Structure 1
Amino acid sequence: MSDGLQVSDGLPQSTGDFYERLRAYEGKAAAEAGRGKDPVNEPMIRHWCEAMGDAHPAYTGPDAVAPPTMLQAWTMGGLAGHTARSAAYDELTALLDGAGYTSVVATDCEQEYLRPLRVGDEITFDAVIESVSEEKTTKLGTGHFVTTRMDVRTNGELAGTHRFRILKYAPVQRKPRGERPRPVINRDNEGFWAGVREHTLLIQRCGECEVLRFPWLPGCNACGSDAWDTVEASGEGTVYSYVVMHHPPFPAFDPPYAVGLIELAEGVRMVSNVVGVPHDKVRIGMPVRLEFQRVDADLEIPVFRGGEG
């Protein structure tokens, strides 16, 4: 492969010549003569504080200052972006893309605060490509860390600096799909899994106070009795809460996928996959219906099928 690269197992391997080409961009501008789209203002401060749960009195009233951690927010270009980004930064990105480092992830940032920002302050900024790392291998893949430093000013005075680091990398090739991990079955929950094998979802019921409980436990967490029987769930439920799993990948799973905390019609809640709808269409309150999904020759699991309606 040309341009100072070697290829091993389908992934680029940087040579010294290629790395020197990357380092030539250190010290070059990443953004020039940038200007905040809005001056520092009360509505944005209020929204930020509400989102962060920060009720500090310094952020309200006639003498309000902006939370220091909003430093980068005043420089962001929104969906339309900024015209301040430099040609050098685009060239560096294109060079990495052309070498096979086509994926990107933000890894961390560092901020330094030099003076408070007050309502009405006009924001300007410049940024420089501070460093490009040697090739590094991570769980995501092999690539280069690129660090930019942004100097944020108000009325020409330096208000703070923001260092932002990304990893431009070639993704690790996925390993063949592996076997799904086995559930841990013990004397306390073996009745539940016996029910699953018969395509029934069994909920424990206390033999004394008749409180339903899930997951299965050796004793009642309401009255302490160790007497119990079971009731069969109807299979109807709603999504009480959920997460979408993106990372880290595991050979037996295929992210992204939705994992829901399902509130059953009987009042107990259980965790399982939400299937039948795209992961980004799952919503709190969505009605779901129990079904049993075979994941390999020896294992079926209860999952919940949602509907987009």
Structure 2
Amino acid sequence: MSADPAGDADEAARFHALLKDFEGRPAASGGRAKDLVNEPMIRHWCEAMGDTNPAYTGPDAIAPPTMLQAWTMGGLSGHGDRSYAYDELLALLDGAGCTSVVATDCEQEYLRPLRPGDAVTFDAVIESVSPRKTTKLGTGHFVTTRMDVHANGEPAGTHRFRILKFAPAQRAAQKRPPATRRPRPVINRDNQGFWDGVREHKLLIQRCTACATLRFPWLPGCHACAGPDWDTVEASGAGTVFSYVVMHHPPFPAFDPPYAVALVELAEGVRIISNITGVPYDKVRIGLPVRLEFLRVDEDLELPVFRGSEG
């Protein structure tokens, strides 16, 4: 790296000019979804999200708008539609030391609803490559791609996806003392009541006073009828593991990997994400019965977790 700041800036500008030459070039061309928009995938999506909106069922069903990207995904085998330009851009960044990548954000715009039977096609373009940016992760460039999605040849939506290709920051040679405190939950006016309940060893679920729909996590309005008024019911504490992951990496000083994080379906029908205790991480299974308990992690933080049993 140049010791001359002006020279280093000139080199960065020259490299960015090479990157900008990729703007407007295709990232994918003539892509076609492997499946027509279909009811089973819509049902699985809604079950995973806990979305009971009636617009997604019945003879006039539409797909949830946020499924826009799901129809374009190629799975493990891909689509075979990836552009050489996109690969060249990533290789250029790799050669400059930006060998790490992290997804940063996405934006979607919906132009028409997708319905079962629609054939989805798409094209993607490299929309922009940022100048060199320095972040806590390291120094690199943000690359934004725009995907234009069509249904039966009609514009259906736009999906923008942004990644950071970066050279990892050099870690300090000396070992820092571990930060042992768990991250603090973000408490606001919408979820204050939930955390008040936790302090009293109660797991409270919101209930819409207009349609009696239960909802979790806490929200300012009902996702079923949009009613703003609600009260609460206390969960019995019984549940089962609906899905789970085992966290191995990245390590964090306040945690001791590997450990299991589960989506627990409560007896009341709503789902909550929490840790599983009482069984080894490799014994956690879908369908495992669990029971609510409260775990004190430090002097002023207690969290709801779920204890499983190997028996």
State how far apart, in whole Å, the 2-side matches of 1:23 and 1:104 are: 19
Partner of 1:234: none
Partner of 1:63: 60
State how far apart, in whole Å, the 2-side matches of 1:152 and 1:137 are: 33
Cα pair distance change 1:28/1:7, threshold 3 Å: farther
Partner of 1:179: 177
State how far apart, in whole Å, the 2-side matches of 1:85 and 1:242 are: 30
Q: State the shift of 1:255 in Å.
A: 8.2
Question: 1:95-244 residue pairs with structure 2 within 5 A?
Answer: 95-175=92-172, 176-181=174-179, 244=247
Cα pair distance change 1:242/1:24, threshold 3 Å: closer
Q: State the shift of 1:245 in Å.
A: 7.0
Matched position secondary structure for 1:105: strand
State how far apart, in whole Å, the 2-side matches of 1:156 and 1:272 are: 47
Matched position secondary structure for 2:35: coil
Q: State the shift of 1:179 in Å.
A: 2.2
Supply the AA of the counterpart residue of 1:89: Y
- Over the residues paired in the alignment, what is the CA RMSD in angstroms? 4.0
Cα pair distance change 1:136/1:273, threshold 3 Å: farther
State how far apart, in whole Å, the 2-side matches of 1:43 and 1:168 are: 36
Give the alignment's TM-score, normalised by structure 1: 0.60
Cα pair distance change 1:6/1:63, threshold 3 Å: farther
Cα pair distance change 1:44/1:27, threshold 3 Å: same
Identity %: 62
User: Are the aligned partners of 2:12 and 2:132 in contact in 1 as well (CA < 8 Å)?
Assistant: no
Q: State the shift of 1:60 in Å.
A: 0.6
Question: 1:79-98 residue pairs with structure 2 within 5 A?
Answer: 79-98=76-95
Deviations 1:259-287 (A, max 9, x none): 789xxxxxxxxx9999xx8x7x47367xx
Cα pair distance change 1:62/1:257, threshold 3 Å: same
Deviations 1:141-193 (A, max 9, x none): 1111000000000111100000000010111223332223478xxxxxxxxxx
Q: State the shift of 1:243 in Å.
A: 6.9
State how far apart, in whole Å, the 2-side matches of 1:79 and 1:60 are: 29
State how far apart, in whole Å, the 2-side matches of 1:53 and 1:162 are: 23
State how far apart, in whole Å, the 2-side matches of 1:101 and 1:88 are: 17
User: Are the aligned partners of 2:56 and 2:63 in contact in 1 as well (CA < 8 Å)?
Assistant: yes
User: Are the aligned partners of 1:30 and 1:128 in contact in 2 as well (CA < 8 Å)?
Assistant: yes
State how far apart, in whole Å, the 1-side matches of 2:2 and 2:247 are: 37
Cα pair distance change 1:42/1:283, threshold 3 Å: same
State how far apart, in whole Å, the 2-side matches of 1:256 and 1:21 are: 42
Partner of 2:209: none
Q: Which runs of 5 or more structure 2 residues have no equivalent in the other structure?
A: 182-198, 203-240, 263-274, 289-311
Q: State the shift of 1:139 in Å.
A: 1.4
State how far apart, in whole Å, the 2-side matches of 1:76 and 1:182 are: 39
State how far apart, in whole Å, the 2-side matches of 1:48 and 1:260 are: 20
State how far apart, in whole Å, the 1-side matches of 2:12 and 2:201 are: 62
Supply the AA of the counterpart residue of 1:75: T
Partner of 2:259: 258
User: Are the aligned partners of 2:179 and 2:254 in contact in 1 as well (CA < 8 Å)?
Assistant: no
Cα pair distance change 1:178/1:160, threshold 3 Å: same
Structure with larger Rg: 1
